Structure 1
Amino acid sequence: METLEAQAEDFAAIVYAEPGALGLIANIVAALMIATENMLDPPFSAAAVTLSGVHLIVVGGLLQIVAGLLSYRRWDHLTATAFLVFGSLWTSMGISRILTAQAAAQDGADVVRQATLPGLVGFMAVAVVLCVCAVTVNFLLPPVLIAILLTLVFEAVGAWFAWGRRVAAAFEIIIVLAGVYAVVVMMLKGVSQRYILPGFGNAPYDPLLMRTAGGPAPKNEKKKVTKYSEPMGMGFLGNVVPATVLAFYHLGFFSDFRPAVAMFVFSAVCQVLASFYSFLRHDFYHATTFIIYAVFWNSRAVLQFLVSSNFPEIMTSRVNFYGQWTLVGLILVVVFVSATVNRIVFLYNLMFAVMAILSIDHIPVVAHDYTFGVSAAIVAAISTYTGMSALENSIAEKNVMYIGAEVVHSDKLSAAIGAIFGTDSEKTSKSEYDDDDYLDAKIVDTTIFISSTIALMAHSATEATNHIYPIAWIMVAGVFLHAYAARLAYAAGSLAKAYVSLLLTVYWAIWVAFLLNPNLAVLLRSLSVGMLCLSTVAMVMTPTFSGVWIPFGVLMELCVITQVVTVFNVNPKWMMLVTSLLAAIVSLYAATAELINGALQRVVVPIGLPLIKEKERAENTAAPPCPLFTSRRSSALREVARLLDQGCVVGVPTDTVYALAGSCKVPESIKKIYMVKGRPAEKPICLCLSNLDQLADVNPPFSPLLWNFMRRCYPGGISCVVPKGEWLKNLGLGDSVDLVGTKDNICIRVPDSSVLAYLVSVSGPVALTSANPSGGEDSTHHDMVIESLGEKLDGVVCDGTSNELVASTVVNCMKIDEGVISYFRIGCTPQEVVDAHFEAAKAEMNSQSATLDIDHKMS
């Protein structure tokens, strides 16, 4: 059997080294460059300003974005989000500098300053969120982020006052100094695999000590994915900057929108990458929702750019443009399905839908500026809290900020919709969405239908309005979103859908070129005929997809024919409108059905089965990466107990989720648990006993109230954190006392599991922690343990599906004698149940105390 040290060498922190160092170096160089510029007196030559902008884009932007992408693979929520946010910030500032250099020659520098200020305000709001969240991560990130926040403030002031540039330079020097120290710490840690210098590894405020937010927790429990960090916070924060810019613009703060387009890099980077990483995490809801947000903001930005560019006749028949109604409809679908997520997300999407409705172009311009501007400002404020709550809850790995329970449980909503469509009797539909490959394919389908729906409806309005106004939606949804869908399809292993997505990308690119300049029709004729041939091949492939693809493929073939006859200048009147509208209706139904089915994780809206099904291949069974033991045989459990006595680490079932166990008689086994999980040293491991009598035998100095409370909690899915003491050595822990719990307290676990109780009774107390990479998805089946950690373990006890989806509830009993308990984590046992146990224990103790007083008086 391989030693654990050899098995643990592929721990993710080693594989991806320290990308934080790369990101901070990018910040250092960018901040030093801006500080040098701010300490000098303008004016600067156009070449110098342009070169400065290019350096900001390459060094501060692209390098930092690369660091953020690598950090997402290290389960580092805050660092990944911060690098991508500030990477897009430096990129936006670089673009603004290039625009300023060009505008200076035309006396337009003031226009650029006015247009970029709202974006800086949005970045300030995001920086505040990151500063607050950084307090719960380590000591070094908060000074860096606070310095960046103050730099943004005084950069905005410096646009009009010279003293603001000097103050901004001072804070940029602070960024450089703090960043240099942080890079040294990270580089040393990357080489030695431990923190030599202080600053990282602990936090000013430990999130483990933070109490969970009040209110009921969501009941729609979903498994966590540990391979990539959670991008939800970044996705929601991606709405802050574009909403702020559009609010300032429509409320009349500035009039030329062209310089402000650079700030929409933030939305494009944050929300597209948040969608992509949600796809990699097999998170259907966020993978599709963030894309809809991105399409809304960026199509609006392109539209206002075209308006500010004074394209001929762009405002003609503006109030007749109905092309964005399908986008509004999709947002309403998102509101509908988000009722199964949590209350904060539901209210946020509801406000987003209100803003989308108030942004429609049927509203006259004067009223439109007010309705859209005010609603965008509200969305920006709500986005800040929604993003902050998602990010902080991801960092703390529990709900420390209020998000609320779901408005309606997914089972109830599924039953209601299924009753309408007659799909409520389907028993096997949910299992399909448990397959990650199937779910990935559905995300690809939904993305294609979303992009087609928006582009087709906008295109159908071309003949009813003018040929310029729909370009924004066609370019963003039709060209860029279909190209993104092709990337998803390739990652999902579907070359056929990647082919279809690329064809649709080219199809819409031809339309964009034609609408921008109809004189290109002659040059586009050969390309459109080639598209007709290739799209016919795609139409033939659609019977291998779901049933809804067949009418969609046929109608898209008609749309391609329409394109051909248009560039040949023989287009019958209204042919473009009719074909695009019919295809948009089918695509809207498909997108709505896929959104509802994917969010509810079962087929409740029919989408049809493939006419041609792929032949299933026999699965290739490979040898397990570690020894497997059945939980049904005592001989197998005795072998597991022998492994524990030898200092091995074994995956075991509990009464909640699967856990890693190491014997407390062998301190090295506890150290191995930390190596296997990649668990930070500051995160404690609990002590597992077979029953409460095992604890009573060593007579720890607990109060009667604590004993009464523990008797009500054990055995079961509740863990109690109690004070440490010399009594631990009487349990046979020896040198392991310092390796379990913290310096002052220890978490006691007495699971209601006959398998684990038998192992502990034979081998003695064990150190116990969940069987997953640190901060990752709880393992609810032995296959998940084998897949995620099998190569690093000395064995796994196979007991099938776990009894719960989440770990135990951890109760802080350190102040129980003061009549107070708190919670480190709300797990499988609801807080109401634990509170009821505590109140019953207090009532019993008070009753006994009153009885003793009466007896004393009687005597």
Structure 2
Amino acid sequence: METLEAQAEDFAAIVYAEPGALGLIANIVAALMIATENMLDPPFSAAAVMLSGVHLIVVGGLLQIVAGLLSYRRWDHLTATAFLVFGSLWTSMGISRILAAQAAGQDGADVVRQATLPGLVGFMAVAVVLCVCAVTVNFLLPPVLVAILLTLVFEAVGAWFAWGRRVAAAFEIIIVLAGVYAVVVMMLKGVSQRYILPGFGNAPYDPLLMRTAGGPAPKNEKKKVTKYSEPMGMGFLGNVVPATVLAFYHLGFFSDFRPAVAMFVFSAVCQVLASFYSFLRHDFYHAITFIIYAVFWNSRAVLQFLVSSNFPEIMDSRVNFYGQWTLVGLIMMVVFVSATVNRVVFLYNLMFAVMAILSIDHIPVVAHDYTFGVSAAIVAALSTYTGMSTLENSIAEKNVMYIGAEVVHSDKLAAAIGGIFGTAREKTSKSEYDDDDYVDIKIVDTTIFIGSTIALMAHSATEATNNIYPLAWLMVAGVFLHAYAARLAYAAGSLAKAYVSLLLAVYWAIWVAFLLNPNLAVLLRSLSVGMLCLSTVAMVMTPAFSGVWIPFGVLMELCVITQVVTVFDVNPRWMILVTSLLAAIVSLYAASAELINGTLQCVVIPVGLPLIKEKERAENNAEPPCPLFTSRRSSALQEVAQLLDQGSVIGVPTDTVYALAGSCKVPESIKKIYMVKGRPAEKPICLCLSNLDQLAEVNPPFSPLLWNFMRRCYPGGISCVVPKGEWLKNLGLGDSVDLVGTKDNICIRVPDSSVLAYLVSVSGPVALTSANPSGGADSTHHDMVIDSLGEKLDGVVCDGTSNELVASTVVNCMKIDEGVITYFRIGCTPQEVVDAHFEAAKAEVNSQSATLDMNQKLS
């Protein structure tokens, strides 16, 4: 008990309040700095502009990114996304200022302003999305985000007109003032565990009141992971800015791409972190998809940077370059598997694949600029909706914006592919792809194979084109992606694959250095020979991995030998092409197989079993993480009631799914429920009674219609939201009145469960919420409660499988006297049944009223 209470205190002060306060403070300092600069008249000294840029990067960028990373650990989708988006914005603006300080003369400064404007347009689109989503979170964020949006607009105007800078300064002051107030609110909330000042507790538009978007819902939804916020919205929004910049560039708005590279910090931050947090959530599909997006955008950015830098002969034999076809092929694989996600994502990826095809360098420059520019503009627009719908659905925890059902069910697609490869029989067997303990390793494998496939194919084209053109893919896919895979492997606990990934990153770094300057060959000889020795060790390790690693390891050993003979200047003609192409083919097969298998969560394309298998250890019978009580013995339930009276949080069965219960006589137990569940303080907890007579004894001022309706609904799988009042204190809630429900209303639950009814009758009213991490899948067996929350609970009442698969239906009865009820959630009880109860209650009340009027007239 003492340990849990200590955790509850730490949760409020450290985990909940401080990340938001840190991010807001970073915004305040950055906005104040830019406002001060905008109120002064240029020109400024180069040193002052450069110093301003450094401060924006460190304070507005890095600190806000740190706040975003911390916010991802507290199930706050919008705040985490907003901090990372605007952290990358301030970083990009800081880099642009440094470039402007180094630009020669006014013409150079104009080039920088012109190249950064498209990035600001992209950030404006993302800011609009965040503004719309913020309306469903609280009252304070929308005006702050609107001020940031208008600041971006007038910052862009101020690049040419002085009055634009003055207007931007005014909105930046608004950001500062609103940010200071928000910091005070959040710090006070962190200390007091409740909102003392207004602005954060409620939202202008409650997402619980939003109806689910029309159209069929996906049938193969996966279990939610609530340890980290959902990064999918940020991953899709990460495509907006790079697509906008490339669209403006290829359509001829500006010609020097070098200053625009700063805006690709947005893609690097948003999509790499979205991939990383998807990895931490064991989300195979999004972890791979977002890193493929990042590779595409950043490799195109590096390529255009090299072209604008006028590297000698870079455009020679450009139309012969075929190195990006494997990247296009992998994007088409993403389209293929996204058919099992939803329709919006499938159509979006389809358009992304069309853009990737139109970006290939076989197309002549004039036509290429048009095809790529137009398609990039379309992708930017589609990214806005896809990101907004994904983010808003994550915030509302239901599909309030249309995404559609999957195009094809994953089982059907797995059966079709399994029939081709003869693996259909394996579809129903358990595999490492549907096990969280192994899926992380599969993400690492797929990332390594993707990086190798893209880099090898691009490298094989050097002898067909020139040494400079493939560098973009070697830098991004070869060096960065393998370094990223090493980080994932370390997080997954595989030091062997971290070692292999780092070796591959070093291998490609040697090639990058050599291709940039062949005169470095002498200096690279010792490094390449050492690389050959280390890669031999890696090749020996591959039999312990999946079977496809063995041919890949052997062919990569040949590629390393090719590198050695190249730096020693004894390279036979076409050796690079042959070795790289052979390794690329094996790697492409492995990447495609792992991508399809991982997304479908079963082995449909064989990748082979390890030749050397780790010896399985017999599992010891571990002690349960918390005390367990059987629901069949009254003595056990009396012990549970005593624990409730002491302030414990217990997992209990209901008439629907399992729930967490805390006694309303002990306010600390309700606070503890929030900590155990990881539930945001804005989301209310309902009040559970043993029967409706318990409520009738305190005589709440409910109308006859509400009483009639509630008597039809209770006991059962329907919860009614009713107005709060002084009558709650008569139920013995005491100080718990402010901890259940919202400020104005409370949800009443009377379950049709003899176990829970007995506990409530003995211990008194309890606060009740579903027994799952916030946003996670409902627990339909006591084992699920033990597995997901057992270490944080004081006990679990074991009652086997639940009666229902989903929670109760929650009805909004606040306007029932006006003849209207609405729904917060459609659960186990269908809406038609509740509507029938309501119509019957209205009919009976109206009939009784008519009879009373008639009797009065007759008398």
**TM-score (norm. length: structure 1):** 0.91
CA distances 1:367-395 after superposition (whole Å, capped 9, x unpaired): 21111111111111111111112222222
Aligned to 1:769, what secondary structure does the other structure show? strand
Cα separation, partners in 2 of 1:525 and 1:135, compared to 1, 3 Å: same
- Of 749-758 and 328-337, more deviation after overlay is shown by 749-758
Aligned-residue Cα RMSD (Å) equals 3.6
Alpha carbons of 1:697 and 1:378: their partners in 2 closer, same or farther (altered >3 Å)? same
Closer, same or farther: CA 841–793 of 1 in aligned 2, 3 Å? same
Which one is further off, 644-653 or 526-535? 644-653
* Secondary structure, counterpart of 1:757 in structure 2: helix
2:639 aligned residue? 639
- CA offsets 1:235-277 (integer angstroms, 9 cap, x no match): 1111110000011111111111111001000000111011111
Per mean C-alpha deviation after superposition, the further-off stretch among 349-358 and 285-294 is 349-358
**1:531 aligns to 2:528 (yes or no):** no
Range moving further from structure 2, 320-329 or 494-503: 320-329
* Paired residue total: 859
Deviations 1:732-779 (A, max 9, x none): 878866654345544344556564455456656533102245455644
Q: Which range moved further: 311-320 or 799-808? A: 799-808
Contact 2:150 2:171 survives alignment (8 Å): yes
Q: Contact between 1:714 and 1:751, CA under 8 Å: does it hold in 2?
A: yes
Shift, 1:586, TM fit = 1.4
Matched-pair contact (CA < 8 Å) for 2:223–2:776: no
Per the TM alignment, residue 10 of structure 1 is displaced from its structure 2 partner at its CA by 4.2
Contact 1:96 / 1:112 at 8 angstroms: preserved in 2? Answer: yes
Shifted more, 751-760 versus 341-350: the winner is 751-760
Cα distance 1:262–1:427, how it changes in 2: closer, same or farther (>3 A)? closer
Shift of 1:637: 3.2
Give the match for residue 837 of structure 2.
837
Identify which range, 444-453 or 406-415, moves more after superposition: 406-415
Say if 1:313 and 1:221 are closer, same or farther in 2 by CA, change over 3 A. Answer: same
Once the 2 structures are TM-superposed, how far is the Cα of residue 853 of structure 1 from its aligned partner? 15
Distance 1:847 1:89, change over 3 A: same
Deviation at 1:664, TM superposition (A): 4.8
Alignment-derived partner of residue 650 in structure 2:
650
Distance 2:339 2:468 in 1: 37
563-572 or 59-68, which deviates more: 563-572
Deviation at residue 646 of structure 1 after TM alignment: 4.9
Could you say if the C-alpha distance between residues 798 and 30 of structure 1 is closer, same or farther in structure 2, counting changes exceeding 3 Å?
same
Is the CA contact 2:427–2:604 (under 8 Å) kept in the aligned structure 1?
no
Change (3 A) 1:41 1:671: closer
CA contact (8 A) 1:656 1:806 kept: yes
Q: Per-residue deviation at 1:508?
A: 0.8
1:640 is displaced (CA, Å) by 2.1
Residue by residue over 1:96-122, the C-alpha shift from the partner in whole angstroms, topping out at 9 and shown as x without a partner, is: 111111213373221111110000000
1:140-173 superposed Cα distances (whole Å, 9 cap, x missing partner): 3223222211111111111111111111122222
* Residues 187-219 of structure 1 deviation map (CA, whole Å, 9 limit, x = unaligned): 333444443433333333333333332333222
2:729/2:737 contact within 8 Å kept: yes
Q: Secondary structure at the match of 1:797?
A: strand
Cα distance, 1:77–1:326 mapped onto 2, change above 3 Å: same
User: What is the rounded CA distance, in whole Å, between the counterparts of 1:705 and 1:592 in structure 2?
Assistant: 61
Greater alpha carbon shift after TM alignment, 639-648 vs 110-119: 639-648
Q: CA deviation at 1:532?
A: 1.2
Contact 1:267-1:297 within 8 A present in 2 as well = yes
Give the corresponding residue for 2:75.
75
Distance 2:840 2:581 in 1: 65
Give, in angstroms, the shift of residue 407 of structure 1: 2.2
TM-score by length of 2: 0.91
Distance 1:838 1:320, change over 3 A: farther
Distance 2:847 2:420 in 1: 56
* Residues in 1 aligned to 2:307 and 2:617: alpha-carbon distance in whole angstroms: 55
Partner-residue secondary structure (3-state), 2:480: helix
CA change 1:732–1:108 in 2 (3 A) is closer
Distance 1:259 1:733, change over 3 A: closer
Give the 3 Å change call, closer, same or farther, for CA 437–721 of structure 1 in structure 2. same
Aligned residue in 1 for 2:713: 713
Question: CA–CA distance in 2 between the matches of 1:182 and 1:724?
Answer: 28
- Name whichever of 705-714 and 173-182 sits farther off: 705-714
Residue 414 of structure 2 is matched in structure 1 by: 414
Task: Check whether the contact 1:11–1:678 (CA below 8 A) recurs between aligned residues.
Answer: no
Worse overlay, 386-395 or 137-146: 137-146
User: Relative to structure 2, which stretch is displaced further, 511-520 or 423-432?
Assistant: 423-432
Q: Quote the Cα distance in structure 1 between the aligned partners of 2:195 and 2:815.
A: 33
C-alpha contact 2:12 2:190 (8 A) present in aligned 1: no
Q: Tell me if structure 2 keeps the 8 A contact 1:35–1:170.
A: yes
Structure 1 stretch 745-754 or stretch 656-665: which is displaced more?
745-754
Match of 2:124 in 1: 124
| Farther off after superposition, 64-73 or 138-147 | 138-147
- Using the TM superposition, give the Cα deviation of residue 538 of structure 1 relative to its aligned residue in structure 2, in angstroms: 0.6
Shift of the 303–668 alpha-carbon distance from structure 1 to 2, 3 Å rule, reads closer
The answer to which of 95-104 and 440-449 deviates more is: 95-104
Specify whether residues 187 and 852 from structure 1 end up closer, same or farther in structure 2 by C-alpha distance, changes over 3 A only: closer
Greater Cα shift, 620-629 or 303-312: 620-629
Aligned mates of 2:273, 2:133 — CA distance in 1: 20
Report deviation, 1:297: 0.4
Instruction: Show CA shifts across 1:551-599 (max 9, x none).
Output: 1111111111121222222222222222212211211111111111211
CA shift, 1:313, in A, is 1.9
1:636-683 superposed Cα distances (whole Å, 9 cap, x missing partner): 334323433555321113455431113456666445434544545543
Q: Which moved more, 1:459-468 or 1:115-124?
A: 459-468
Q: Does the 8 A contact of 1:236 with 1:386 survive in 2?
A: yes
- Aligned-pair CA distance for 1:418: 2.3
Contact 1:211–1:822 under 8 Å retained in 2: no
Instruction: Give the match's secondary structure for 2:80.
Output: helix
Deviation at 1:32, TM superposition (A): 1.8
State the Cα distance separating 1:793 from its structure 2 match.
3.0
Give 1:751-770 correspondences, 5 Å limit: 751=751, 755-756=755-756, 759-760=759-760, 765-770=765-770
CA contact 1:430–1:603 (8 Å) conserved in 2: no
Q: Are the equivalent residues in 2 in contact too, given 1:138–1:204 (CA < 8 A)?
A: yes
Cα pair distance change 1:740/1:151, threshold 3 Å? closer
How many Å separate the matches in 2 of 1:509 and 1:829?
Answer: 60
> What is the aligned partner in structure 1 of residue 244 from structure 2?
244
Consecutive unaligned residues in structure 2, runs of 5 or more: none
Tell me by how many angstroms 1:404 deviates.
2.1
CA distance 1:739–1:194, shift in 2 (3 Å): closer
Q: 1:664 corresponds to which residue?
A: 664
Aligned partners of 1:355 and 1:605: how far apart in 2?
Answer: 28
Identity %, equivalent residues = 95
Change (3 A) 1:785 1:46: same
CA deviation after TM superposition for structure 1 residue 502, in Å = 0.3
Displacement after TM superposition at 1:510 (Å): 1.1
Q: Is the 8 A contact 1:688 1:749 kept in 2?
A: yes
**Is the Cα–Cα contact under 8 Å of residues 188 and 196 in structure 1 kept in the other structure?**
yes
How far apart in 1 are the matches of 2:850 and 2:357?
A: 65
Instruction: State whether residues 13 and 191 of structure 2, in contact with CA within 8 Å, keep that contact through their aligned partners in structure 1.
Output: no
Structure 1 residue 482, shift from structure 2 partner: 0.4
- Give the superposition deviation at 1:304: 0.8
- Partner of 1:857, secondary structure, is helix
Taking a change above 3 Å as real, the CA distance of residues 158 and 106 of structure 1, as seen in their structure-2 partners, is closer
Deviation at 1:448, TM superposition (A): 0.8
The structure-2 alpha-carbon separation of the partners of 1:151 and 1:730, relative to structure 1 and needing over 3 Å to count, comes to: closer
Contact 1:781 1:801 in 2 (8 A): yes
Q: Quick check: 398-407 or 437-446, which moved more?
A: 398-407
CA separation of 1:41/1:11 partners in 2, compared to 1, >3 Å: closer, same or farther?
closer
What is the distance in 1 between the residues matched to 2:587 and 2:711?
59
Given that residues 221 and 805 in structure 1 are in contact (C-alpha distance below 8 angstroms), is that contact kept between their aligned partners in structure 2? no
Shift of 1:419: 2.5
2:65–2:88: 8 Å Cα contact kept in structure 1? Answer: yes
Distance across 2 between alignment mates of 1:804 and 1:485: 42
CA drift of 1:811 comes to 3.3
Report the alpha carbon displacement of residue 15 of structure 1 after superposing the two structures with TM. Answer: 4.2
C-alpha spacing 1:219/1:488, structure 2 compared with 1 (3 Å)? same
Report the 3-state secondary structure (helix = DSSP H, G, I; strand = E; otherwise coil) of the residue aligned with 1:629.
strand
SS of structure 2 residue aligned to 1:526: helix
- 1-side partners of 2:704 and 2:546: how far apart? 64
Structure-1 separation of matches of 2:86 and 2:243? 18
Task: Quote the Cα distance in structure 1 between the aligned partners of 2:97 and 2:72.
Answer: 30
Kept in 2: contact 1:720–1:811 (CA 8 A):
yes
> What SS does structure 2 have at the residue aligned with 1:11?
helix
Task: Tell whether the 8 Å contact from 2:12 to 2:193 is kept in structure 1 after alignment.
Answer: no
Kept in 1, the 8 Å contact 2:65–2:84? The answer is yes
User: Shift of residue 51 of structure 1?
Assistant: 1.6
